[in-house]
């Protein structure tokens, strides 16, 4: 069993880097604070006897040797970057639970057959650099390196420059190696486990998610003399499209999601009807067929509304992450570990994307969830119970041991 108090202390120490007034974290990818967080993690791993390597995407791998160095390692990990108004647990818990597994095995003097690894994947959140999960995405072959390096933040700084600047552009090629298994433990970021009073979520997969930039282009004109009837006003299109997309999500309730996280306006002058609005659209559904039908409806709605109002419109596919089904053997390793430990549990699908989405393409993978308070995440008030975090780390420990000692 892991040391729950030590895990909690480690989480709280990491949370001081980028701590916000409201008790959350702002430690966005490839900032100075991200570097500080990484440096601290690397130090902890080295102190725990691990060998640390960094790949050309800044993904960090801390390896605890196994008895048989020829066996492919069992990997766990998640991310240390946060949302701009993020919490202390999203991602960080998965990384530090991995470290706690290593520390606990050290304390107990337990060797494994296969090596164990704890990974930190770069820019999982997609908040500073879109898309999300780009570190694990390049590593697993979904994106190529040049695409990743060229991604820009809102100030126009590139991923590649910022990665080099914080000193985490490593030598190791960002590409898959043979792995016996990959696990990731994470807070649920939703309300189900808490509502059903379950300690552990046994994940069978991840819902599909599509990201778009919807651009509406109208005709700028003066707010005063220009008659309402002749305006080609992007806001007139926006409100109808939002309305129809919320209704589309309702049609596919309770699982569909429609989220608008960002909007830009040009020229952005109070007394001028805008020329352009750019809306970030995020559509999700666990059923790939339904998600694809939502995708079609979105395109149809945007085209029809734009046409009605005399707007031009463009839809740019920013990111497409289809629904994922995890590896049966890995899911079973989690299931039997939970059963052995006697935790209440529920089989479920993840609503959020995780690095495991991409890792699952090149290695047998599954995930473990623990409840979080009120299901709140991507929020500074994000919170979780120490006993649930400890339980999640225990399940991780047992699942990793099962796969590392075949």
Of 125, 295, 380, 390, the one binding ligand URP (CB under 6 A) is: 125
Where would I find the beta strands (DSSP E) of 267-329? 272-273, 276-285, 312-321, 324-325
Of 109, 224, 254, 267, the one binding ligand URP (CB under 6 A) is: 224
C-alpha distances in angstroms, 266 versus 65, 157, 259, 295?
55, 21, 22, 26
Is residue 379 within 8 Å of residue 87, measured between CB atoms?
Answer: yes
**Within 316-375, which residues bind ligand URP (CB under 6 A)?**
352-354
Output 47 or 307, the one with its CB closest to a second copy: 307
Rounded to a whole number of angstroms, the minimum distance from the CB of residue 249 to a second copy is 5
Question: What size, in residues, is the chain?
Answer: 406
Size of the residue set binding a second copy (CB under 8 A) = 74
**Within 101-140, which residues bind a second copy (CB under 8 A)?**
125-127, 130, 132
Any contact of residue 267 with ligand URP (CB under 6 A)?
Answer: no
**Calpha distance 279→281 (Å, rounded):** 6
Task: Kindly write down the DSSP assignment for every residue of 257-270, as one continuous string.
Answer: EEEEEEEEEES--T
Nearby residues of 154 by Cβ (< 8 Å), 6 or more positions away: none
Any contact of residue 191 with a second copy (CB under 8 A)?
Answer: yes
Any contact of residue 188 with a second copy (CB under 8 A)?
Answer: yes
End-to-end CA distance of the chain: 20
Task: Tell me: cis bond preceding 305? Omega within 30 of 0 counts.
Answer: no
Is residue 283 within 8 Å of residue 94, measured between CB atoms?
Answer: no
Any contact of residue 223 with a second copy (CB under 8 A)?
Answer: yes
Output 35 or 354, the one with its CB closest to ligand URP: 354
Any contact of residue 270 with a second copy (CB under 8 A)?
Answer: yes
- Residues forming a β-bridge with 324: 206
Q: Quick one: what does residue 201 bind among a second copy, ligand URP, none, with the CB cut-off 5 to 8 Å set by partner type?
A: none
**Within 192-221, which residues bind a second copy (CB under 8 A)?**
192, 207, 209, 211, 219-221
Size of the residue set binding ligand URP (CB under 6 A) = 12
Interface ranges with ligand URP (CB under 6 A): 90, 124-126, 132, 222-224, 271, 352-354
């Amino acid at each position: 069993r892991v040391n729950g108090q030590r895990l909690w202390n480690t989480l709280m120490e990491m949370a001081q880097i980028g701590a916000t007034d409201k008790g959350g974290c702002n430690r966005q990818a490839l900032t100075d604070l991200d570097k500080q967080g990484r440096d601290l993690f690397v130090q902890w791993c080295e102190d725990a006897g691990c060998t640390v390597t960094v790949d050309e995407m800044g993904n960090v791998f801390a390896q605890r040797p196994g008895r048989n160095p020829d066996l492919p390692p069992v990997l766990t990990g998640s991310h240390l970057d946060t949302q701009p108004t993020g919490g202390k647990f999203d991602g960080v818990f998965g990384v530090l639970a991995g470290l706690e597994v290593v520390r606990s095995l050290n304390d107990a003097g337990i060797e494994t057959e296969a090596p164990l690894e704890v990974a930190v994947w770069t820019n999982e959140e997609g908040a500073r650099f879109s898309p999300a999960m780009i570190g694990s995405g390049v590593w697993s072959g979904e994106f190529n390196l040049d695409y990743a390096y060229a991604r820009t933040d809102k100030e126009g700084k590139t991923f590649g420059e910022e990665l080099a600047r914080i000193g985490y552009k490593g030598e190791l090629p960002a590409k898959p190696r043979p792995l016996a298994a990959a696990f990731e433990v994470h807070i649920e970021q939703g309300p189900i486990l808490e509502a059903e009073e379950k300690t552990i979520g046994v994940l069978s997969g991840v819902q599909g998610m599509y990201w778009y930039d919807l651009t509406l282009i109208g005709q700028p004109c003066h707010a005063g003399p220009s008659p309402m009837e002749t305006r080609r006003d992007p806001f007139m299109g926006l409100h109808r499209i939002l309305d129809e997309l919320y209704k589309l999500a309702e049609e596919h309730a309770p699982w569909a999601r429609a989220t608008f996280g960002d909007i830009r306006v040009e020229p952005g002058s109070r007394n001028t009807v805008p020329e352009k609005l750019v809306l970030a659209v995020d559509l999700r559904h666990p059923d790939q067929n339904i998600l694809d039908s939502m995708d079609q409806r979105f395109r149809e709605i945007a085209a029809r509304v734009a046409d009605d109002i005399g707007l031009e419109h463009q839809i740019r596919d920013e990111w497409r992450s289809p629904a994922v089904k995890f590896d049966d053997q890995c899911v079973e390793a989690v299931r039997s570990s939970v059963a052995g430990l006697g935790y209440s549990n529920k089989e479920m699908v993840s609503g959020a994307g995780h690095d495991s989405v991409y890792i699952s393409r090149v290695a047998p993978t599954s995930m473990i969830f623990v409840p979080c308070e009120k299901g709140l995440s991507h929020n500074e008030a994000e919170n979780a119970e120490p006993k649930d975090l400890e339980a999640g780390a225990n399940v991780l420990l047992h699942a990793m041991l099962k796969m590392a000692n075949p």
